């Protein structure tokens, strides 16, 4: 396995433009594919997760062209559901934003599909979404374990019935059914059971649907109503914002390594909830400046520990867990149970790796408490095929030399050239 040894860092300073958002790229690609008209997508993310969605669209007969950099894509919409004459096996890696939305959208139309992926995908739940689709009449079978991919979907006409979906494991289930709902061509009411997690991702979904001409009534995240007369229309051109979760590593570097670090591509105009990561850095004592499309962070000296519910920013919250090494006191990150069903069990992985660095870590079912050591111990960090483990532990190099990141290439899921860009703003 490859590994990357980082030099001891003492300073972060400069400007970086962040690649496009994974969450927006995959939502926009899917809606462009089923909408009426041609959509030109700018600043598309070029990474493994988006590649899986693009490959799926190719197999489903969607016509699109990418520019040489693979950041502009012209998609010819089908004006209706994805369909295929023959049986199709579609490999989606470990991309939740491809697996969940496609599992819902492919129940419409016609054809037989096997949705599969990496081994870890077979451990990531999808039962709550499939139950809701089955209530609409969908024909879905589990190929291995009940409640998990791989799935076999036999598309058939569905009928709108009021449907309930469990919200406490992943917001992607609700996102998936919301995005597919206009294919029903009948009014649909979706009610949410349990406490909906990761709510800001639903705002991203509703925003993208709106750009494609479909309005959803949001009754305080308890229920959602989609009028049956709406259908997706291409907006013509659409720009993907920079990825706010990817921005978190650079913003945190500004808070730990002096700064200022200015990140372009996200700002007050962003629809992504993860821009609220900057508020957490402010509470830790950092100075944050914002404009519509950039955020800048600077700070000298140690940070302050925080004790916060970070359910609304589950991805960027991982960056706080490593920033806690640079804070005075004990940092507690709460209400993050679903870290356990993402790329790896992130609560367990974070605990193991922070302990290697000498931190005192308490691992709860749904929280982490982190007390930094007097002196961080150099260590080789295992990344568990989790891009965010690799990216957030790069920050540990501000504490000591001898930080080794095992399998740094795993950042390809959302940020293939992360380490090159991180190098440019750190010394
Ligand atoms: O809808 C999305 O684009 C995402 C939702 C979140 O997942 P959960 O809703 O499972 O927390 C997030 O962690 C993931 O990276 C992307
Ligand atoms: C949880 C993540 O990914 P996915 O979209 O596969 O759920 C993530 O990117 O942190």
Nearest alpha carbon, ligand 2 atom 4: 96
d(CA 244, CA 315): 10
Same domain, 147 and 249: no
d(CA 125, CA 371): 32
* pLDDT of the residue at 86: 80
* pLDDT of the residue at 136: 96
Same domain, 181 and 294: no
Same domain, 299 and 404: yes
Q: Using the mean position of ligand 2's atoms as its centre, give its distance from the Cα of residue 339 in Å.
A: 10
Same domain, 54 and 195: yes
**Structure letter (DSSP) for residue 340:** G
d(CA 232, CA 69): 28
Q: Using the mean position of ligand 2's atoms as its centre, give its distance from the Cα of residue 343 in Å.
A: 7
* pLDDT of the residue at 252: 99
Q: Is 124 in the pocket of ligand 2 (CB under 6 A)?
A: no
Residue 232 placed within a domain:
no
CB-CB contact of 347 with 339 (8 Å): yes
The tokens for 38 are 């041609």
Give the total residue count for the chain: 427
Non-local CB neighbours of 35 within 8 Å, separated by 6+ positions: 77, 79, 212, 213, 231, 232, 233, 234
d(CA 150, CA 145): 8
Query: Which residue among 173, 196, 223 closes a domain?
Result: 223
- Comparing CA positions, the residue from 130, 139, 135, 99 lying closest to residue 117 is 99
Find the DSSP H helices in 212-298: 244-256, 277-283
Is 334 marked as a binding-site residue?
Answer: no
Point out the ligand 2 atom lying closest to the alpha carbon of residue 95.
Answer: 6
Q: Is 315 in the pocket of ligand 2 (CB under 6 A)?
A: yes
Same domain, 52 and 110: yes
- Comparing CA positions, the residue from 275, 219, 273, 205 lying closest to residue 247 is 275
Point out the ligand 1 atom lying closest to the alpha carbon of residue 26.
Answer: 3
* pLDDT of the residue at 155: 95
Residue 231 placed within a domain:
no
Residue 263 placed within a domain:
yes
Q: Is 46 a catalytic residue?
A: no
Q: Is 172 in the pocket of ligand 1 (CB under 6 A)?
A: yes
Same domain, 181 and 308: no
Residue 233 placed within a domain:
no
Q: Is 338 in the pocket of ligand 1 (CB under 6 A)?
A: yes
Q: Using the mean position of ligand 2's atoms as its centre, give its distance from the Cα of residue 300 in Å.
A: 32
CB-CB contact of 289 with 259 (8 Å): no
Q: Is 248 in the pocket of ligand 1 (CB under 6 A)?
A: no
Q: Which of 315, 382, 386, 407 is catalytic?
A: 315
Same domain, 33 and 11: no
- Comparing CA positions, the residue from 73, 60, 63 lying closest to residue 26 is 73
Same domain, 163 and 194: yes
Residue 246 placed within a domain:
yes
Same domain, 295 and 415: yes
Query: Which residue among 190, 223, 256 closes a domain?
Result: 223
d(CA 1, CA 11): 29
Tell me the C-alpha to C-alpha distance, in Å, between residue 383 and each of 343, 346, 406. Answer: 10, 10, 6
Rounded average pLDDT per 10-residue block, the chain, 427 residues = 96 98 99 98 98 97 98 97 89 98 95 97 98 97 98 93 96 98 95 98 98 98 95 98 98 98 98 98 98 98 98 98 98 98 98 98 98 98 98 98 98 98 98
Is 246 marked as a binding-site residue?
Answer: no
CB-CB contact of 298 with 259 (8 Å): yes
Non-local CB neighbours of 175 within 8 Å, separated by 6+ positions: 27, 100, 101, 201, 202, 205
Same domain, 205 and 353: no
Residue 230 placed within a domain:
no
Is 248 marked as a binding-site residue?
Answer: no
Non-local CB neighbours of 202 within 8 Å, separated by 6+ positions: 171, 174, 175, 178, 196, 218, 221
CB-CB contact of 28 with 41 (8 Å): yes
Q: Is 351 in the pocket of ligand 1 (CB under 6 A)?
A: no
CB-CB contact of 114 with 141 (8 Å): no
* pLDDT of the residue at 379: 98
Residue 355 placed within a domain:
yes
Radius of gyration of the chain (CA): 21
- Domain with 69, as residue range(s), is 22-223
* pLDDT of the residue at 425: 98
Same domain, 268 and 368: yes
Is 335 marked as a binding-site residue?
Answer: no
Q: Is the pTM value of this prediction over 0.90?
A: yes
What ipTM was estimated for this complex? Answer: 0.99
- CATH code at position 67: 3.65.10.10
Number of separate domains in the chain: 2
Q: Which ligand is nearest to the CA of 126?
A: 1
* pLDDT of the residue at 287: 98
Same domain, 132 and 72: yes
């Amino acid at each position: 396995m490859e590994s990357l040894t980082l030099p001891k860092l003492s300073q972060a300073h400069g400007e970086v433009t962040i690649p496009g958002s994974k969450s927006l790229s995959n939502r926009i690609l899917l809606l462009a594919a089923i909408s009426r008209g041609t959509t030109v997508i700018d600043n598309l993310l070029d990474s493994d997760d988006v590649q899986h969605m693009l490959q799926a669209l190719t197999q489903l007969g969607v016509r699109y062209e990418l520019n040489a950099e693979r950041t502009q894509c012209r998609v010819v919409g089908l004006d209706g559901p994805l369909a295929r004459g023959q049986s199709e096996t579609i490999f989606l890696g470990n991309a939740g934003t491809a697996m969940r939305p496609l599992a819902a959208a492919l129940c419409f139309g016609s054809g037989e599909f096997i949705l599969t992926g990496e081994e870890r995908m077979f451990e990531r739940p999808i039962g709550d979404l499939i139950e809701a689709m089955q209530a609409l009449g969908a024909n879905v079978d589990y190929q291995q374990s009940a409640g998990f991919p791989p799935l076999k979907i036999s598309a058939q006409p569905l009928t709108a019935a009021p449907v309930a979906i469990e919200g406490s494991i992943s917001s992607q289930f609700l996102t998936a059914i919301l995005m597919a709902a206009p294919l029903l061509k009948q009014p649909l009411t979706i009610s949410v059971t349990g406490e909906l997690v990761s709510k800001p991702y639903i705002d991203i979904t509703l925003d993208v649907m709106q750009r494609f001409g479909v309005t959803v009534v949001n009754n305080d995240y308890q229920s959602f109503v989609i009028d049956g007369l709406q259908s997706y229309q291409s907006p013509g051109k659409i720009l993907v914002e920079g990825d706010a979760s990817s921005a978190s590593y650079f913003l945190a570097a500004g808070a730990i390594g002096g700064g200022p670090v200015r990140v372009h591509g996200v700002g007050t105009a962003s629809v992504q909830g993860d821009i609220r990561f900057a508020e957490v850095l402010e509470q830790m004592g950092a100075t944050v400046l914002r404009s519509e499309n950039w955020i800048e962070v600077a700070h000298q000296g140690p940070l302050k520990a925080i004790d916060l519910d970070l359910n609304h920013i589950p991805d960027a919250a991982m960056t706080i867990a490593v920033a806690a090494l640079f804070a005075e006191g004990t940092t507690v990150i709460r209400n993050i149970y679903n870290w356990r069903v993402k790329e790896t069990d992130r609560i367990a992985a974070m605990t193991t790796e922070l302990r290697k660095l000498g931190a005192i870590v308490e691992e709860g079912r749904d929280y982490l408490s982190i007390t930094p050591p007097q002196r961080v111990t150099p260590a080789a960090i295992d990344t568990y095929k989790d891009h965010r483990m690799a990216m957030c532990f790069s920050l540990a190099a501000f504490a000591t030399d001898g930080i080794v990141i095992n399998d740094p290439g795993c950042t390809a899921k959302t940020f293939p050239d992360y380490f090159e860009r991180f190098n440019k703003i750190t010394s």
